[in-house]
Every structure is written in C-alpha cells, then in structure tokens.
Structure 1
Amino acid sequence: MCGVFGMIAHEPVNQMLYDGLQMLQHRGQDAAGIVTTQGNRFHMHKGKGMVREVFRTRNMRELHGNAGIAHVRYPTAGNAGSSAEAQPFYVSSPFGIVLAHNGNLTNTAELYQEVYAQYLRHVNTQSDSEVLLNVFAHELRVAVSGSPTPLNLSVDDIFQAVSQVQAKVRGAYAIVALIAGYGLVAFRDPNGIRPLVLGKRVENDGKTSYAVSSENIAFSSLDFKLERDVGAGEAIFITLDGQLFSKQCTKKHQLSPCLFEYVYFARPDSVIDGVSVYQARADMGITLAKKVKREIDVNEIDVVMPIPDTSRPSAMELARYLGKPYREGLIKNRYIGRTFIMPGQATRKKSVRQKLNPIPSEFAGKNVLLVDDSIVRGTTSREIVDMVRASGAKKVFFASAAPEVRFPNVYGIDMPTREELIAHQRSAVEIAHEINADVCVFQDLHDLEQAIRHLNPEIDGFDSSCFSGCYVTGDVNEAYLNELSASKHSPKQNLPMPTLIDYSVSVEDDDN
C-alpha cells in the first residue's frame, strides 16, 4: 500500500503536490518523492522518511513546472532500507517517463526476465514498480514503432501501450506517470484492487486543472472536486494543456476493491469506489454488534471502547446498538507512526507502549469490550489487552470489525507469510488465548461485504484474499505462497538481477 498523486494545472504545482502528498501520508511513511515537468525536462526529489522530512524549501524551489506526480511509499516488495527504491522511478527511452505505483505485482520475476533478456532494459532496484515502468516504456516503443513519425506519440499509442501492460502484468496496480512533453497517464488494474480517483478544478479563466489521487481527501485542501473513480481497467491521459482523454483498455474487467481499504487503510473522510469509508465503518459496527450479541452475554459488558483511531466509527455504532456506554480509555500519541505499517516485529512491539496510553480510571473494576479494526499479527492486540488488564479491568472482550486474517495478502499489504498471521490455523477461542482476552469476536466476511456493497451495489466483488484465501487475479496458488514465504525469510532469494548501483537520494537536515 502506497499513495500516488498526479496533477496537470495552469500554475506551478510543486506546493500543491506537497500538500496533496501530506494528505496521503497515512498510506506510507517509509519514503516520499515528487517529480515535476517543465517542457521536456523532469525535476525530481525523493528520499526516505515522511513528507515533511524529505522536502525542504530549497528542494521545493527546484521543482519547476505545471505538471507533476508524487508518491509516499509503504514497503511491501524490494529493499525497504534503500532510498534508491523511493518513487517515482525514471527511464529515458523511448520517451522520458516517470512513474509511481500503488499496489504489488504477482508476476514480477517473470516480467523481470522479459524486461532484462528480451527488451534489453536495465532495472536498478528490487522494486516491482521499476519493472512495471520498463514494461510500460517498452510497450510505448512498440506502439510507435510502425508509425511514420515514431517520435510523435498519439493518444491512441498511449492507450495501446496501457492495454498491453494490462495484458502482461498481473497483480494490483494504480499508476500515475508523466511522459515528458506529452502529459499525465493514470490507469488501474482490471480488478480495481487499489483505489484511484479523478478530481478537477475550473479556474477563473475557464481553464480546467486535473488531479489523480489514491484518495479524494488529497483534493479538498486544493479546492479540487471529486469527479469520479478511475474504473477498473481504465486509463486516463491528460495533456499538458489540460485536455482529458479516457478509455477502457481491457475487455475483461470487474470492480473488486480491496476490503482492507475500507477496514483500515483509507482515511474515514475518503470516498472509494462510491463508498463513504466512514459510513462503511459505522455499518460494520452494527453488523459486528449483532454477532457480539450472539456470542457474549451483553449484561457482562460494562463499557465499549475503541482502539484508536480507525475503529472509532465501528465502536460508536456497536455501543449504540448494544445500549452500552461508549468511552475513550486509550489515548493515542499522534507523533508515533502506525505500528502495522512499521517493518519488523520488534519495532512494532516496542512502539505500542509509546503509541497508546491507558486512562486507568476508565478501566478499573470494569468488564471492557475493546473494538479494533482488525487483528493481523496479534502483537499490538496482546500488548493492548495486557495494558488494559494492568489498568484494573476485570474482563477484557475483544471485537474485530474485520474477519480473521488467515491468508497472506499479495496485492500490496505487508502480511505476506502465513506464519506471521495470528489467525492462521487458529480458532477465535485460540486467538483469544494468544492475546490474553476473555473472548474474541470477529466480523463475518459475508456481513462485511454486504455492509460495503449496500453503499454501492455496482461493486462487482471484493478482494477478500486475506480473509478467504481467494485471489481475484487467479494466479496465486499454494506453490506461489510457499515460494513467497521462503523468499520472505531468505533475503538472498530476490530477483536474479545484475550488480546494482545505489543511486541514493540524500536528505540534509535543515529547514532552509
């Protein structure tokens, strides 16, 4: 999971890209990057860290131009420790192209071999995003190869290249890219797993500026209005002077957004594929309350409390439905990063006590129902339950707005191995024991899907792979998961790549 943002405007876009990227910071805290274009020239700055850490005033001054793309990175594939893997990525042939990617590919190794051996193109990192960029660049070359003017790229050439990319690339991807001298390209995988939305703003002179983003919340502070979602399998091209073209680039497409976007990743004030994330989470609380009522004696519950922040809408509606007091007993330190996003179990465990602080008076002598958005590895949940018990709670019930996460996610979420998942081969009773809770109640998958589909009946299906084990791309099997698990625990089993040069981007620590 990452955040992508792109813009074509009639004024310098550097500050707007920065502001939009900050609104997407929750989607990735590992690295950030911005590229702008002026004429046929790109201006790039990227590095490791959060947006405010990567960019200084001097960096912003060098980002010239009225068009650009931006990215915040959450590491799911490749070397998370290398700033060379910060996005966007750049290639110079056949046209200057920069690309930013949200998602994860499932046939990266196969594509790499094709890029390296057949296309004779060099990939400098372990990132699947750079592989995808080189596939796109190759298909652009093929698209113009039969043209009498091969250096002139048409809109049809661009859509043809996207169509070929979608035919070859498997997995989840929401893409924004700039082609030097031409404009901005945005497209989404045929299943629409990762979100991508289009916004626009009509200027005082009647001209129209466009923006594309992972979430529409990036638009609000810039006075852009949400126009619509980019469709599954659809491509959009916006010229540098603000003309917009769109095309459905694949015959086989269905809208199957990732359920985890609604459960956890997206901000509650976002609207994804026609669904208000806040309303979806509130409705999850009602369906979860019905199951809690079936599995726990409600008379035993004294108070309902959320584990901030994502679960708050669900917890409030659950408490209302059960007729129980809703209280805030855990206070979040907002200057600590999201523990689920932090790579490394030790880092996650250490940060829980820094991130949340209990109010003992809210727990003393009470039976508490804690509500969280999900339980993934269980590390955070166990730490929280122990804190609540140490604060004087008599009983601790734990309710999850999501079903049990039993299977790896291969589409851009950092839960790639079954061994890391607390629900893998465990029942709800066994999970409760593992996290030291008295009872654990999980949302039913059918109820979760219905709560979201009720808000937009036009959604064809969902990527529910981490709950159900059903992978919508159809290419993930037991052998694939075993290989993924082996590579996760054996860093040497990466792509068979040539010696790499680390073109790291340094970030100096000053405010000028």
Structure 2
Amino acid sequence: MSDKITHECGIAMVRLKKPLQYYQEKYGTPLWGFTKLFLLMEKQHNRGQDGAGVACVKFDVPAGDPFMFRERCVKANPLDRIFKRLLGDYNKLVSHGDAHPEFAKTVKEQFDFGGELLLGHLRYGTSGGYSQSSCHPFFRRSPWPTRNLALCGNFNLTNTDELNRNLIAMGQHPIFATDTQALLEKVGFYLDEEHDDLYRQLREQKMPGKEISAQICRDLDVHRVIQRAGEKWDGGYVLAGAVGNGDAFIVRDPSGIRPCFYFENDEVIAVASERAPLMTVFDLELADVEEMPPASVMVIKKDGTRTIKAFREELPRTSCSFERIYFSRGNDIDIYRERKTLGAKLADQVLASVDHDWGNTVFSFIPNTAEVAYYGLVSALRERRRTEVKDEILRRSQDGTLTPEKLDDLILRNWPRSEKVVSKDIKLRTFIGQEGMRNHLASHVYDITYGSVDPGKDNLVCVDDSIVRGTTLRKSILRILTRLNPKKIVIVSTAPQIRYPDCYGIDMSEIGKFIAFEAAVELLKENGKEELLGEVYRHCRRAVETEEAVNHVKKIYEPFTPEEISARIARIVYPQNVDWAGDVEVIFQSVENLHSAVPNHSGDWFFTGDFPTAGGFRVVNQAYINFFENSDRRSY
C-alpha cells in the first residue's frame, strides 16, 4: 500500500497441556511453548509495530510466590527487545546446568515466563497514544487468583463512552484512556461478581478457607463472565484473556469482523490472528486449523478442557475484506488466490486504458503488498494475449497470410511486458524533525529502475492494493515515475474507492483526508451543488443526536459515477512542477468484482458505507460533522 495506515493488531496464545518437564524431555527445552509464542508473533509482525507485549500465567505456584507476569515495550523493534531481554534471564539459568533432570523445575520457579499459559500482542495504536501504558496486555491484579486478569486484543469499539458511563453507573471510577481499559474494567467487574458469588456460596456451605480458593478456580464460569460483560460491546474485536487461576478465553465479535484461528492437539492449544502462522509454526495442514466462530467465546479451563459457546446473538457475517486485500500476510493459500483474482479482475479496465497496446505497455507494481495482485493481473493479461494470438494464427493460416515476420510480431514483440519499475528503500529513515525536510526525505522512500520504460513511447501500468489519501502518489510515486518519461501512467487499485471511515480496527477515521471524498467535494463545488455539503451536515447532526442508524454521507457521492470520481482523483494526484506532459489515469476495482474475488469476506463498509453495527453509522456521521466543522477530534 502506498499510503501508510495503521490497522488491526495481532494476538497470539499458547496454552501448554503438559508440564514443562514433558517439553524438556521431548524437545530438549522447557521453553518450547515460549519459543512458539515468539514465532507466532514474529510471523504476524506485520500486524503491529507500535509496540508489543507478552504475559504468562504459571500453574500450581506455592502461596507467596508470584504467578502472573508481563513484559511490554514501545521502543523500536519491540518484539526483538522483549524476547532478547527475557532470553537473557533464561540463559543465566542455562549456565547453571540445563542438562540437570530438575532443570524444567528450576525454569518454572526462577524464570518469569516459565509457565503454561502465554499471551502475546502486537500493537498498532489507534487510540490511547503510544506510551507503554497503552500497550497490551493490560493487567488487573488481586491477591485472589480468580480476580487477576490479563487482557489483550485486536479491536476497536465504537461505544467506549457508553461503556465508561455504564462503569460509572456501577460505582466505578474508570480512567478514560482507551477502549482496552474500558473492556478490562468491564470484564473485571463481572469476574469479581462471579468470584464473590462463588465465595459466598462456599462459605455458607462451611467449606474450609484453604479449600475455597481451589473450588472457586474449578467452578469459575468464564463464559458467563463474558456473556454479561460483552452484552453492549459494539465494534469489531477478538479478545484474548488469561485469568490468574489458569483459565483462558478468546472472544470474537458477533459479525466476525476481526479474524481469529486456533489449533489443538494433545500438547498445546494455540490461537493467532492469522491462519498461516499457526500452520508454519506448528507444521500443520490446512485442515488442522479451525476458524473461531463469530459471537462466541472459547474457554480453556485450567484442567485443559476447552469449550466454545455463543455469548451473543450472531449478526450477519461481515468479515473485513481489507484483511484479504492488504492486512493479512499473503502466504495463506486462500488469501494468495484471492489477491491474484483481484488483480485478474482488473484486466478489462487496464486493457481499455492502454487501448490494447500490448507492444508499448509496461506492467509493474508498487511494492510490496500489491505484488501478488500484480501476478494475477499479468497472468490474466497473458491469457488474453494467448487467446488473441491463437485466434490470429488460425485466421492467417486459413487465408495464407501467416509469415515468419508476422509470427515474430504476434508472439515476440507484442507480449505483456513485466518489469520491476518501482522499488522501496525500506530502511530509509526520516528522522529529521523539520517538517519540510522530513517530507522531502519521505518522497525518496521509493526509487525506480532507470531504462525500464521506452521514453515517450511506452504506457506504464502500476498496480497498488489500495489508495486511501493519495498522499504518497502525489508527493512521491507519480513524481518519480515521470522521470521515466512514459507516454501515460495508469495507477491500478485492487480495492474500490475508499469513501467512508473505518471504526472496527483500521485507523481511518478522518473522512476529509480520503482522496475519493476530496474528489467528490471538488465535483460538488464545480457543479454548483455546494449547498449539499451543508444539507448533509444538518442530517448528520440530527442522526448523531437521535442515534439514527443511517449513513447520510452517501449523499455526497450520489451525484457522480465511480468513473467521474476516479477521473477527478487522477487530476488531484497529477504531479505538479515536473517536466512531463503525459496522461495519468487511476483505475479502481469495482465493488462487484471485490465480492466475486473475496466471496467469504463481505465487510465492505469503507467502500459502500454499509456498516454492520449501529456504532458504524454513528461514526461516519460524526466523521462528517468533524470535517464540516474543521475539527480534528476523533469520530469514535
């Protein structure tokens, strides 16, 4: 993606089903589970680079010894820093004799993360800032094991203010920091109630004090806790939690917006945001990995039993299509095929744009996440060209006009040309504070392969996976592509026009910054329809005040076709102050083709404005209000 956006976080859980000694004997290390956690997180590092955190629960720890641990970091390369520090502590124990038969016991006693239940989180910050205090997992501590809670997640809630008001009504004093804090306190409140109810029952039964805690651990109903706590959650979420008694849980939202997968055998239960990391880390087949059902909570009791039950009524499934277009890694076979199909679906539009000029068109992509879709486009183009060549050869064979020269022209000189025109300098650092110079440095993140285009003659087609704000196109990519002096530049987005904010995981809440919205507003003003902007503002204010579940911002786009908006986008991003007079065209995927290519992930609200929950409609109307009032406040 050329525009940088922050988005869904990543989670990982490893729940060992055997004692550490088992893994020491079978795999040569008691840190088998700890290593698997690191690998699951490393294989999902694309999901969060603003911070990382891990937590651990040790089972059956003697009274007086700590049993829950946490490590977080928001510095550069947070995952590496965390595990390097923790492994430094572990290596001190190794130096005292890891071959000793009691070594696993030593690790359990002396290494903080020598436990049976491990949580991991990779963070992209969308609220709460970027300090360590905003980094998951969040902790809630108590001397009672069943009141201790570690919580992390991949989510955004649209109604955090409402949840905080509910906490106040309960008598709490919540800290208005993040939606994670609100969730932590909400779950913690009902966890306390569950604990207290059990405690009173057991005390009335005259159970000895030493036995009460153990019985509460066995009887704690985590499903009921989540069912009560999550009654009013609105948003897209996957939550991973660990209770101090050794119970664990995973919760997925009722619409299945955020992804979650799990695997279980007789040694481990493992959970991750993406399927492919589980397959790689545990050497699994596709069928070994299960998808977590929407509207459900998985509970893993301390004794190892696992249940999955509904905690809310399931809503129509609207899994996030952006996961498939961009966010999830493309080594999942289904995602890989879908991205290739997204590219292939653009072949007709691309060929029309370059007037079927096979001999004078170069096809490339904007690194790196558009690469797979580019392969799909080129594959489809080659198939089209093969069909054309075959038909032409058959025709000329029949009428006697096929010559060696014509064969060369058909097969060699007019074949789709693929070049890596654009490269990305990943490690270019824009650390200079002065804004103008920082922007100048940022414009050099991309570079080109000089000589890959025939100047003044070739069209240049570049595939991108999506265009959000168009900033990088304007300030960097198009400017540098003009140095190749192509006849025409065609930017091809495998995603439709992004028109509306997201509030379920992606940090795209400022509608005024979307280039599609910018184009629509320009067209309204140009066509004498500027009064519509004020009309929509009034409708949005009323909708927010009355909690009306209607997207009034759709009216901004209704007067224009997608092609008209695309044409205006091309004008907006056209490179200024460069010595080049060629054409620029911007092509977007159609919503129909998106659904055809990605049939099982129908969540398309960023493109269509059809939000799956009431909170989404409130957010889009508030986002427009903020735009109209020139306010930079968050819309959720």
User: Do they superpose with TM above 0.5?
Assistant: yes
The equivalent of 2:602 in structure 1 is 462
The equivalent of 1:332 in structure 2 is 424
2:72 maps to which of 46, 49, 52: 46
CA distance in 2, matches of 1:494, 1:423: 19
Q: Given that residues 281 and 314 in structure 1 are in contact (C-alpha distance below 8 angstroms), is that contact kept between their aligned partners in structure 2?
A: yes
Comparing both structures, which one devotes a greater share of its residues to strand?
1
Q: Which residue type is aligned with residue 185 of structure 1?
A: F
Q: Given that residues 34 and 45 in structure 1 are in contact (C-alpha distance below 8 angstroms), is that contact kept between their aligned partners in structure 2?
A: yes
The equivalent of 2:134 in structure 1 is 85
CA distance in 2, matches of 1:186, 1:208: 19
Q: What does 1:407-426 align with in structure 2 at a 5 Å threshold?
A: 407-426=500-519
Give the Å deviation of 1:479: 4.0
Name the SS for the 1:172 alignment partner.
strand
The equivalent of 1:109 in structure 2 is 161
Give the Å deviation of 1:353: 4.0
Q: What does 1:388-403 align with in structure 2 at a 5 Å threshold?
A: 388-403=481-496
CA distance in 1, matches of 2:268, 2:428: 35
Count residues in correspondence.
471
- 1:293 has 2:293 as partner: no
Q: Give the TM-score of the pair, scaled to structure 1.
A: 0.85
CA distance in 2, matches of 1:291, 1:166: 45
Deviations 1:395-424 (A, max 9, x none): 211110000011111111121111111111
- 1:384 has 2:477 as partner: yes
Deviations 1:84-125 (A, max 9, x none): 1111101125611111110200001111222244251543x6
Deviations 1:162-186 (A, max 9, x none): 2223321100111111111232211
CA distance in 2, matches of 1:487, 1:74: 28
CA distance in 2, matches of 1:25, 1:487: 37
Q: Which residue type is aligned with residue 322 of structure 1?
A: L
Give the Å deviation of 1:258: 0.6
- 1:64 has 2:204 as partner: no
Q: Give the TM-score of the pair, scaled to structure 2.
A: 0.69
Q: Which residue type is aligned with residue 89 of structure 1?
A: F
Give the Å deviation of 1:135: 1.2
Q: Which residue type is aligned with residue 86 of structure 2?
A: N
Q: Which runs of 5+ in 2 are unaligned?
A: 1-7, 21-30, 62-66, 90-111, 203-211, 383-415, 520-564, 575-582
Give the Å deviation of 1:65: 0.9
Name the SS for the 2:598 alignment partner.
helix
CA distance in 1, matches of 2:227, 2:629: 31
Q: Which residue type is aligned with residue 434 of structure 1?
A: I
1:24 maps to which of 44, 49, 65: 44
Change (3 A) 1:349 1:28: farther
Name the SS for the 1:405 alignment partner.
coil
Q: What does 1:79-478 align with in structure 2 at a 5 Å threshold?
A: 79-80=129-130, 82-92=131-141, 95-123=147-175, 126-147=177-198, 148-149=201-202, 152-153=216-217, 157-200=221-264, 202=265, 207-223=266-282, 225=284, 226-270=288-332, 276-299=334-357, 302-323=361-382, 324-335=416-427, 352-365=442-455, 366-382=458-474, 383-426=476-519, 427-436=565-574, 438-453=584-599, 459=600, 462-475=602-615, 476-477=617-618, 478=620
Change (3 A) 1:385 1:72: same
Give the Å deviation of 1:380: 1.6
CA distance in 2, matches of 1:368, 1:131: 50
Deviates more, 1:426-435 or 1:481-490: 481-490
Deviations 1:260-294 (A, max 9, x none): 111111100136xxxx1111100101112133334
Change (3 A) 1:239 1:86: same
Q: Which residue type is aligned with residue 82 of structure 2?
A: F
Q: Given that residues 67 and 240 in structure 1 are in contact (C-alpha distance below 8 angstroms), is that contact kept between their aligned partners in structure 2?
A: no
Comparing both structures, which one devotes a greater share of its residues to helix?
2
Deviations 1:228-272 (A, max 9, x none): 11011111112345322111222233321111111111100136x
Q: Given that residues 52 and 79 in structure 2 are in contact (C-alpha distance below 8 angstroms), is that contact kept between their aligned partners in structure 1?
A: no
Q: Given that residues 164 and 174 in structure 2 are in contact (C-alpha distance below 8 angstroms), is that contact kept between their aligned partners in structure 1?
A: no
Change (3 A) 1:36 1:483: farther
Q: Which residue type is aligned with residue 623 of structure 2?
A: L
Q: Which residue type is aligned with residue 281 of structure 1?
A: R
Q: Which runs of 5+ in 1 are unaligned?
A: 340-344, 454-458, 496-512
Change (3 A) 1:347 1:164: farther
Q: Given that residues 622 and 635 in structure 2 are in contact (C-alpha distance below 8 angstroms), is that contact kept between their aligned partners in structure 1?
A: no
Q: Given that residues 348 and 380 in structure 1 are in contact (C-alpha distance below 8 angstroms), is that contact kept between their aligned partners in structure 2?
A: no
CA distance in 2, matches of 1:487, 1:25: 37
Q: Given that residues 363 and 388 in structure 1 are in contact (C-alpha distance below 8 angstroms), is that contact kept between their aligned partners in structure 2?
A: no
Q: Given that residues 496 and 591 in structure 2 are in contact (C-alpha distance below 8 angstroms), is that contact kept between their aligned partners in structure 1?
A: yes
CA distance in 1, matches of 2:440, 2:295: 41
Q: Given that residues 188 and 230 in structure 1 are in contact (C-alpha distance below 8 angstroms), is that contact kept between their aligned partners in structure 2?
A: yes
Q: How many percent identity over aligned positions?
A: 24
Name the SS for the 1:450 alignment partner.
helix
Name the SS for the 1:472 alignment partner.
coil
Change (3 A) 1:169 1:483: farther
CA distance in 2, matches of 1:359, 1:295: 23
Change (3 A) 1:8 1:121: farther
Deviates more, 1:103-112 or 1:8-17: 8-17
Change (3 A) 1:109 1:487: farther
Name the SS for the 1:35 alignment partner.
strand
Name the SS for the 1:267 alignment partner.
coil
Q: Which residue type is aligned with residue 290 of structure 1?
A: D
Deviations 1:205-240 (A, max 9, x none): xx3301111112322443253421101111111234
Change (3 A) 1:371 1:250: same
Q: Which residue type is aligned with residue 15 of structure 1?
A: T
Q: Given that residues 623 and 635 in structure 2 are in contact (C-alpha distance below 8 angstroms), is that contact kept between their aligned partners in structure 1?
A: no
1:480 maps to which of 622, 627, 635: 622
CA distance in 1, matches of 2:630, 2:306: 42
Q: Which residue type is aligned with residue 7 of structure 1?
A: V
Deviations 1:306-328 (A, max 9, x none): 11111112112212322322221
Q: Which residue type is aligned with residue 222 of structure 1?
A: V
The equivalent of 2:13 in structure 1 is 6
CA distance in 2, matches of 1:284, 1:313: 9
CA distance in 2, matches of 1:372, 1:482: 27
